[in-house]
Amino acid sequence: MNLQEHVLSRKAARFQVEAKDWKEAVKAGTDILVEAGTVTEQYYHEILDGVEELGPYFIMAPGMAMPHGRPDGGVLENSYAIVTLKEPVNFGDPDNDPVDILITLAAVDAKTQNEEAIIQVVTLLDDEKAMADLRKATCIEDLEKIFNELEEM
């Protein structure tokens, strides 16, 4: 499960999305995956249920979230979606709010989620220039350039 390959080949990204709250922001990412046929509509509700039970467990760093749910919550295929927000929204995490980048993850099993997917997202997060460029991206070509620059490092 390769973040770059999946997102670019399926054009699974939306840029400068308008969302009035965190639920709309999460929905933007799950909608991409539903359109791609990799999750069912249930997956969005799985993520909301997880937040209701555990709080905003998927906030990874200041300004960045990785919404995901359990594999049995509507995941059909391993997949990612990237969403950047025009205006950041609060998730209820005082250390990392507001959030303007969401990388929605769907994994068919916990091993894939924990051993592959999260590592790829953290690698992107660790590059300050890539994150700054992602915040300015407006199209899939901008994202492709960001990934290419990461590969060259």
Q: Of 7, 133, 43, 28, nearest to 89 (Cα)?
A: 28
| 68 tagged catalytic | yes
**Residues spanned by the domain of 98:** 3-152
* Mean pLDDT for the chain overall: 92
The pLDDT value recorded for residue 120 is 78
pTM (predicted TM-score): 0.93
Our count of domains for the chain comes to 1
Q: What is the CATH number of the domain that holds 99?
A: 3.40.930.10
Considering 6, 10, 27, 68, which one is annotated as catalytic?
A: 68
Distance (Å, whole) CA 9 – CA 32 = 13
pLDDT in tens, 122-142: 888 888 999 999 999 999 999
